[in-house]
């Protein structure tokens, strides 16, 4: 049972805490772990009478199911009429089922949902089936495994497709599409050279989204999070998300989307974002459109993570306080895709793969694929191997509906179906909006260069908004007054643009206590804590409920070992981590640790989640530190994905500054599967969109003979990606922090610092493998006590006569321990080894203080275990030279293609040579 505290305030950086009284036992099953979600799977049973009716009339039933499964093959869902694959599928021929009398009547009970109870002739039935399954909409259901769910889907689909919309819906739809068209025309006129990626040809997406917001509010959704790419984005932002047109014009004119006082890079027009409260049917709906980098589909996992983070902020879904987590959440994620990217970008599959996994599920995403059958100039048959752009969705057994975008009312009905399915099953659902692209990939491209036939058809088409309005002109009235008044409205905004001042700011709502860090200086934070409290947390971190059957080896090597370390004051890496995380939970921060096998830890060192050997149930002792605990850790053992999971955790981290999110790679080098997330979000999100993130990436790094792919976390790439200045002056305001801690206490401080500071920065930790168990890599609790802090540089306290020092060795990471033991073995007494623990921001001040204790130095050696073209060398060399006037002499492996050799003998020879050269 969890009782979460919603309102978490920022921690003062000096905390005096009282020790609580004991802890409540955690549950025995994974289901009881914090963040586990028992979602509703309320599926209508297939009624007995239906089954009886079907078995009485097997042939008509076979025809109906064949329509349900195959109708999509011949449906009229392509607005251009050029992409239908089958003209006359054999499966839909009634004669195949022995049905040839059109006037024969059948009982429709349990066979056709909209005829329920009545009788119908074969010809009526076929007409109904053609209209429902082969008309402007079509559905794919044969891949849905659960019969009850399939039944529900078909019934709901048939009901929606055959429903009629009220006049009010017609009017809103017509008005929304006309305004979208006017906006596109206005922009084309005023800014003829701008690539706006307008919604022309896909205006029905306005109707779809509008209806989605409406129905979502109706079923009690409080928040909709939207992720989408370029096509039609401005139309949705202005049309439905109250984005001020004047701000768009301001941006097009080359001005910043942020206030002038801010020094950020900003982003392009087609990536603008919005976060607003809109009102629907008397209810308030908070709608957030996430920024979207140009990397198509990359926003998907970020949106999912942000959605789950929002659930924690709202205490809904998996985080409901009363532990009635069988309810669905009030937060809905909505993704709009292009057809080419949805069917070819790998992250789409990764996201589908994690979408139903405990601790990653977000209660379903509604996907709208805007299918114009083109990706830039590539036609669909060169853009994928599958039949439909949506086929990847079949792997999750979710319904897929295809709809002809030239029939906007049908699009609306499908939108209702999507929300109803989401509301019922809390699973993904995919809607393919078949439309066309009025212009080229952008408005400046000429599409007839590559698609002449397609564009001959498109050029002859009357626009969808005009056609729809004309069809309804009797009830809608003359369109010209609407077009003129909206044009005038836009024009008035246009006239205001020169006086417009952007007021965007980053620190709103839950971020209000955060600040933009100062542009000078690297701050120090007191991250120490009372030793009594630390000991208490340490003990609780391995306390399991009475009667739990812990693995024998774990009892001795983990639980007893930790308890004796607390007594003997020899804190190792995993204990330090437990102390950092446990103390943050204690102080009011929620924590999430995610990655492959993180509960146990890749190197079997963490055991944050302990498994009962009889029941398989999991216990997370840190969630029972104290009886009145209000903040918890979610231990998320992830699927074998890096890109989606890393993007997900970034999304989670940008939701709330009081969620500490830690992602750990199995081995450091595997981060590169998530490189897009690092480039497009983690290292650049704050500069582009003002999004601070306190995401921690732990990347096991170190040369221990493990071969090319298990040795290096490519630290050089992170350093190259920082905006640290070679000339100096780094401050807290750098884009990312990169650290290479060598002691457990340093790890403890740097984790705590993430949450104690009043700003957030992504933190890249080169984390250890061999140090996890190295007897000398331990810390004392004193090093974590009040007044202690993360040290950017660790000096050498073993040197007795500083004036005798002529050579200083500088290094970073676990290499220190190899250097130190070599020095001891060879009785070298006057060569200090200085560890640089903080790499970015570059701590030139701390280094200066340390290095200039030695007055007679003639040589400065940089020693690293990585090859010459990797590691910290290319980062440190110019900084030492330019900022401290020191020319370093490098000792390293020779330059390599792969990060390391796979041949143990060579690895050992290289390691020995580096040590010898460093001291010779």
Residues that bind ligand TPP (CB under 6 A): 231, 294-296, 338-341, 370, 372, 374-376, 441
State which of positions 149-208 bind Mg ion (CB under 5 A): none
Judged by CB, which is closer to ligand TPP: 297, or 664? 297
- Of 307 and 372, which CB lies nearer to ligand TPP in the complex structure? 372
Helix 245-252 vs helix 233-240: angle between axes, to the nearest 10 degrees? 150
**Nearer Cβ to ligand TPP (372/594):** 372
- Cα dihedral 174, 178, 181, 186, rounded to 10, equals -160
Euclidean distance between CA atoms 231 and 605, whole angstroms:
48
Cβ atoms of 664 and 772 closer than 8 Å:
no
Residue span 69-108 as binding mask against Mg ion, x where in contact by CB under 5 A, dash where not: ----------------------------------------
Tokens (6 digits) for 664 = 């750990």
Q: Choose among ligand TPP, Mg ion, none what residue 355 binds, the Cβ cut-off being 5 to 8 Å by kind.
A: none
Q: Which two tokens stand for residue 737?
A: 């922090």
Q: Nearest approach, Cβ of 231 to Mg ion (angstroms)?
A: 7
Q: CB under 5 to 8 A by kind: which of Mg ion, ligand TPP, none does 823 bind?
A: none
Closest distance between Mg ion and the C-beta of residue 376, in Å? Answer: 8
Taking the complex as a whole, how short is the minimal distance between the CB of residue 365 and ligand TPP, in angstroms?
17
Locus of tokens 């939970």? 585
DSSP string, 195-226: -----TT-THHHHHHHHHHHHHHHTT--EEEE
Q: How far apart are CA 273 and CA 696, in angstroms?
A: 25
Output the smallest distance, CB 537 to ligand TPP, in A.
44
Nearer to Mg ion, 364 or 375 (CB): 375
Taking CB within 5 to 8 Å according to partner kind, which of ligand TPP, Mg ion, none is near residue 662?
none
341 binds, among Mg ion, ligand TPP, none (CB under 5 to 8 A by kind): ligand TPP
Q: Which of 657, 840, 878, 653 is nearest to 732 (CA)?
A: 840
Question: How many helices, marked H, and strands, marked E, lie in the chain?
Answer: 30, 26
Cβ-based nearer residue to ligand TPP, 293 or 318: 293
Q: Which is nearer to ligand TPP, 647 or 841 (CB)?
A: 647
The residue among 339 and 420 lying less far from Mg ion, judged by its C-beta, is: 339
User: Does residue 383 interact with Mg ion by CB under 5 A?
Assistant: no
> Pick from Mg ion, ligand TPP, none: which does 713 bind, CB < 5 to 8 A by kind?
none
User: Which residue has tokens 């006129």?
Assistant: 189
Residue among 719, 673, 701, 659 at smallest CA distance from 511? 659
CB of 437 to ligand TPP, least distance (A): 6
Q: Is 339 in the site for Mg ion (CB under 5 A)?
A: yes
Q: Report whether 422 contacts 152 (CB < 8 A).
A: no
To ligand TPP, the closest distance from the beta carbon of 917 in angstroms equals 44
The residue of the chain with the least Cβ separation from ligand TPP equals 338
Residue owning tokens 């009011």: 588
| Range in contact with Mg ion (rule: CB under 5 A) among 337-345, 518-526, 772-780, 890-898 | 337-345
Q: CB of 392: closest distance to Mg ion in angstroms?
A: 15
**Alpha carbons 246 and 234: distance in angstroms, whole number:** 12
CB of 378 to ligand TPP, least distance (A): 7
Q: Which of Mg ion, ligand TPP, none does 161 bind, CB closer than 5 to 8 A by kind?
A: none
Peptide bond into 669 cis (omega under 30): no
Q: Taking a C-beta distance cutoff of 8 angstroms, is the pair 716, 871 a contact?
A: yes
Residue 332 has φ and ψ, to the nearest 5°, of -120, 130
Candidate residues 338, 440, 762, 867; the one interacting with Mg ion per rule CB under 5 A: 338
Residues 352-355: contacts with CB under 8 Å, at least 24 apart: 352/392, 352/393, 352/395, 352/396, 352/428, 353/395, 353/639, 353/641, 353/644, 354/301, 354/304, 354/638, 354/639, 354/641, 354/644, 354/645, 354/648, 355/304, 355/396, 355/427, 355/428
Cβ nearer to Mg ion, comparing 230 with 814: 230
**Among the candidate windows 273-281, 333-341, 655-663, 709-717, which touches Mg ion by CB under 5 A?**
333-341
Q: From the list Mg ion, ligand TPP, none, pick the one residue 169 interacts with, judged by a Cβ distance below 5 to 8 Å according to partner type.
A: none
CB of 341 to ligand TPP, least distance (A): 3
Q: Which does 376 bind (CB under 5 to 8 A by kind): ligand TPP, Mg ion, none?
A: ligand TPP
Specify the residue, 64 or 435, whose C-beta has the smaller distance to ligand TPP: 435
**Alpha-carbon span 634 to 641, nearest angstrom:** 18
Nearer to ligand TPP, 105 or 376 (CB): 376
CA distance to 254, 570, 583, 640, per residue, from 782 (Å): 55, 10, 16, 39
Q: Which does 295 bind (CB under 5 to 8 A by kind): Mg ion, ligand TPP, none?
A: ligand TPP
Instruction: List the single partner that 294 binds among ligand TPP, Mg ion, none, CB under 5 to 8 Å by kind.
Output: ligand TPP
Residue 296 binding target from ligand TPP, Mg ion, none, CB below 5 to 8 Å by type: ligand TPP
Q: Kindly tell me which of 591 and 676 has the beta carbon lying closer to ligand TPP.
A: 676
Residue closer to ligand TPP (CB basis): 339 or 796: 339
Q: Pick the closer one to ligand TPP by CB: 373 or 583.
A: 373
Nearest-approach distance from CB 40 to ligand TPP, in angstroms: 33
Which residue in 821, 811, 902, 819 sits closest to 862, CA to CA? 811
- 657 contact partners, CB below 8 Å, separation of at least 6: 10, 510, 511, 513, 514, 692, 694, 760
Is 443 or 716 the residue whose CB approaches ligand TPP more closely?
A: 443
State how far Cα 814 lies from the chain centre. Answer: 31
Binding to Mg ion by residue 297, rule CB under 5 A? Answer: no
H-type helices in 44-146, by residue range? 48-56, 58-70, 122-133
Determine contact, residues 14/786, Cβ cutoff 8 Å.
yes
Count of C-beta atoms within a 10 Å radius of residue 459: 10
Name the minimum Å distance from CB 582 to Mg ion. Answer: 49
- Residue pair 646/674 in contact by the 8 Å Cβ criterion: yes
- Residue 411 burial by Cβ neighbours in a 10 Å radius (0-12, 13-18, 19+): buried
Shortest reach from residue 296's CB to ligand TPP, in Å:
4
CB of 551 to ligand TPP, least distance (A): 45
CA–CA distance, 673 with 595 (Å, rounded to integer): 13
Q: Which residue shows structure tokens 């200085």? A: 834
* Contact predicate 573/53, CB 8 Å: no
Task: Give 432 or 566: the residue with its C-beta nearer to ligand TPP.
Answer: 432
Which 359-378 positions form the footprint of Mg ion (CB under 5 A)?
A: 372, 374-375
432/771 with CB nearer Mg ion: 432
Choose among Mg ion, ligand TPP, none what residue 231 binds, the Cβ cut-off being 5 to 8 Å by kind: ligand TPP
Does residue 583 belong to the site contacting Mg ion (CB under 5 A)?
Answer: no
Q: Which of 47, 204, 113, 145 lies closest to 399 in space, CA to CA?
A: 145
- State the number of binding residues for Mg ion (CB under 5 A): 6
CB of 333 to ligand TPP, least distance (A): 19
CB of 200 to ligand TPP, least distance (A): 11
CB of 89 to Mg ion, least distance (A): 26
Report how far residue 556's alpha carbon sits from residue 534's, in angstroms, rounded to the nearest whole number. 21
Residue 410 CB, shortest distance to Mg ion, in Å, is 20
Secondary structure of residue 140 in the 3-state scheme: strand
**CB burial of residue 416 (10 Å; 0-12, 13-18, 19+):** buried
Q: Which is nearer to ligand TPP, 104 or 376 (CB)?
A: 376
Contact residues for Mg ion, defined by CB under 5 A: 338-340, 372, 374-375
């Amino acid at each position: 049972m969890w009782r979460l505290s919603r309102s978490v305030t920022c921690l003062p950086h000096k905390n005096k805490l009282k020790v609580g009284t004991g802890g409540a036992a955690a549950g025995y099953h994974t289901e009881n772990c914090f963040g586990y979600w028992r979602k509703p799977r309320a599926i209508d049973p297939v009624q007995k009478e239906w089954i009886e009716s079907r078995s009485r009339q097997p042939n008509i039933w076979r025809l109906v199911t064949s329509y349900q499964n195959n109708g999509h093959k011949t449906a009229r869902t392509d607005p251009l009429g050029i992409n239908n694959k089958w003209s006359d599928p054999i499966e839909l021929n009634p004669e195949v089922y022995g049905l040839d009398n059109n006037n024969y009547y059948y009982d429709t009970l349990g066979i056709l949902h909209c005829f329920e109870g009545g009788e119908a002739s074969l010809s009526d039935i076929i007409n109904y089936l053609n209209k429902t399954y082969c008309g402007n909409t079509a559905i794919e259901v044969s891949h849905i495994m659960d019969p009850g769910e399939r039944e529900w889907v078909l019934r709901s689909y048939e009901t929606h497709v055959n429903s009629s919309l009220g006049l009010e819906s017609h009017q809103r739809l017509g008005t929304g599409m006309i305004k979208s068209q006017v906006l596109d025309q206005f922009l084309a006129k005023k800014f003829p050279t701008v690539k706006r990626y307008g919604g022309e040809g896909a205006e029905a997406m306005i109707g779809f989204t509008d209806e989605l917001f409406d129905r979502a509010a109706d079923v009690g959704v409080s928040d909709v999070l939207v992720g989408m790419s370029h096509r039609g984005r401005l139309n949705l932002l202005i049309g439905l998300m109250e984005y001020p047109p004047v701000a768009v014009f301001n941006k097009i004119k080359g001005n910043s989307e942020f206030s002038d006082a801010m020094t950020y890079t900003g982003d392009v027009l087609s990536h603008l974002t919005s976060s607003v409260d809109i009102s629907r049917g008397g209810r308030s709906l908070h709608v957030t459109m996430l920024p979207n980098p140009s990397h198509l589909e990359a926003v998907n996992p970020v949106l999912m993570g942000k959605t789950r983070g929002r659930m924690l902020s709202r205490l809904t879904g998996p985080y409901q306080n009363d532990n009635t987590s069988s309810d669905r959440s009030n937060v809905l994620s909505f993704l709009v895709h292009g057809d080419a990217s949805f069917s070819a970008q790998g992250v789409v599959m990764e996201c589908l793969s994690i979408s139903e996994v405990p601790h990653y599920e977000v209660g379903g995403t509604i996907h709208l694929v805007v299918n114009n059958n083109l990706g830039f100039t590539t036609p669909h048959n060169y853009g994928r191997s599958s039949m439909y752009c949506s086929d990847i969705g079949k792997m999750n057994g979710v319904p897929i509906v295809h709809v002809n975008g030239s029939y906007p009312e049908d699009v609306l009905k499908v939108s209702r179906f999507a929300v109803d399915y989401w509301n019922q099953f809390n699973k993904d659902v995919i809607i393919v909006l078949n439309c066309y692209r009025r212009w080229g990939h952008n408005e400046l491209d000429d599409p007839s260069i590559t698609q002449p036939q397609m564009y001959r058809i498109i050029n002859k088409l009357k626009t969808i908004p005009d056609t729809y309005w004309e069809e309804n002109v009797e009830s809608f009235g003359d369109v010209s007054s609407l077009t003129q008044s909206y044009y005038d409205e836009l024009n008035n905004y246009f006239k205001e643009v020169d006086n417009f001042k952007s007021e965007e700011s980053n620190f709103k709502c839950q971020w209000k206590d955060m600040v933009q860090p100062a542009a000078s200086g690297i701050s120090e934070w007191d991250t120490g804590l009372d030793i009594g409290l630390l000991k208490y947390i340490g003990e609780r971190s391995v306390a399991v409920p009475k009667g739990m059957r812990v693995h024998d080896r774990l009892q001795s090597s983990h639980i007893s070992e930790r308890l004796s370390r607390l007594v003997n004051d020899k804190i190792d890496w995993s204990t330090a981590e437990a102390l950092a995380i446990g103390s943050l939970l204690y102080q009011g921060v929620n924590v999430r640790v995610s990655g492959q096998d993180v509960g146990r830890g890749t190197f079997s060192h963490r055991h944050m989640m302990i498994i009962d050997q009889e029941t398989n149930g999991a216990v997370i002792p840190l969630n029972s530190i104290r009886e009145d605990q209000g903040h918890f850790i979610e231990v998320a053992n992830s699927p074998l994905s890096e890109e989606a999971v890393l993007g997900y955790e970034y999304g989670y981290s940008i939701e709330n500054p009081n969620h500490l999110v830690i992602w750990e790679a199995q081995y450091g080098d595997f981060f590169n599967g998530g490189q897009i997330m690092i480039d497009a979000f983690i290292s650049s999100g704050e500069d582009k969109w003002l999004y601070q993130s306190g995401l921690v990436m732990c990347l096991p790094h170190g040369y221990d003979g493990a071969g090319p792919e298990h040795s290096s976390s490519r630290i050089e790439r992170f350093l190259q990606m920082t905006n640290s200045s070679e000339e100096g002056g780094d401050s807290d305001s750098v884009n990312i922090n990169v650290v290479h801690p060598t002691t457990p206490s340093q790890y403890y401080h740097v984790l705590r610092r993430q949450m104690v500071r009043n700003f957030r920065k992504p933190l890249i930790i080169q984390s250890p493998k061999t140090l996890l168990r190295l007897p000398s890599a331990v810390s004392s609790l004193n090093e974590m006590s009040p007044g202690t802090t993360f040290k950017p540089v660790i000096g050498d306290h073993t040197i007795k006569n500083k004036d005798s020092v002529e050579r200083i060795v500088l290094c970073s990471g676990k290499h220190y321990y190899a250097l130190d033991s070599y020095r001891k073995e060879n009785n070298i007494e006057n060569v200090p080894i200085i560890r640089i623990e903080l790499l970015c921001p570059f701590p030139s001040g701390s280094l200066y203080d340390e290095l200039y204790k030695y007055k007679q130095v003639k040589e400065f050696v940089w020693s690293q275990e990585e090859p010459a073209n990797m590691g910290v060398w290319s980062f440190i060399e110019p900084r030492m030279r330019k900022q401290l006037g020191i020319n370093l002499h490098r000792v390293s492996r020779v330059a390599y293609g792969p990060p390391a050799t796979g041949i143990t003998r060579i690895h050992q020879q290289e390691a020995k040579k580096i040590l010898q050269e460093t001291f010779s």
